[in-house]
Amino acid sequence: MRVSTSKLQQMAIYTTLLTGAGCGTMYYLLQKNFSRSDYHRLALEQLKANQTAMDSLGAPPLKVHNIHLSDRHNRVEPYTAEIKIPVTGSKDGGYLYTSSVRDPQTLGWNLTQAVLQLREGQRIDLLTFTPPPNKTEGLETGNWSS
């Protein structure tokens, strides 16, 4: 039985379209799973809570981009997760490098590292708290009457 060339071409086109649609759907579902995960959510909450980092980005508005699935910095295992989240604001952009561990008892995720690396080279550790400068520092208070 002979098959015409045009039928083979049609079959190749349909197969290509179906494969492309399947790959696109899989990519979308993987990105959706990453963005809904606790380790992703915890990292972004930590970023949004750090006013220095948000000011450096020029956020709000904060734009969180899709994770590069082929990047070697992105690894998720049953009890550890290391991801590199691309973020941008109106002034600058960069990557939020995060590391999380899963508590075997509660199965909840705990953020162990969150560092914002800006394109300009500045690194901001989001987990170290630096208190605001003391407002009275440098003032001479010895002559004040109580």
* Residue 83, in any domain of the structure: yes
- Give bridge partners of residue 20 from the DSSP assignment: none
Q: How many domains in the chain?
A: 1
* CATH number of the domain within which 83 lies: 3.10.450.320
pLDDT tens column, 10-20: 999 999 999 99
* Residue 27, in any domain of the structure: no
pLDDT tens column, 86-126: 999 998 999 999 999 999 899 899 999 999 999 888 898 99
| Cβ-contact 47, 54 below 8 angstroms | yes
* Residue 8, in any domain of the structure: no
* Closest residue by Cα to residue 98 from 119, 124, 120, 122: 124
Radius of gyration of the chain (CA): 24
CA distance 34 to 38: 9
Give the residue numbers spanning the domain of 98. 38-125
**Stretch 36-58: mean pLDDT:** 90
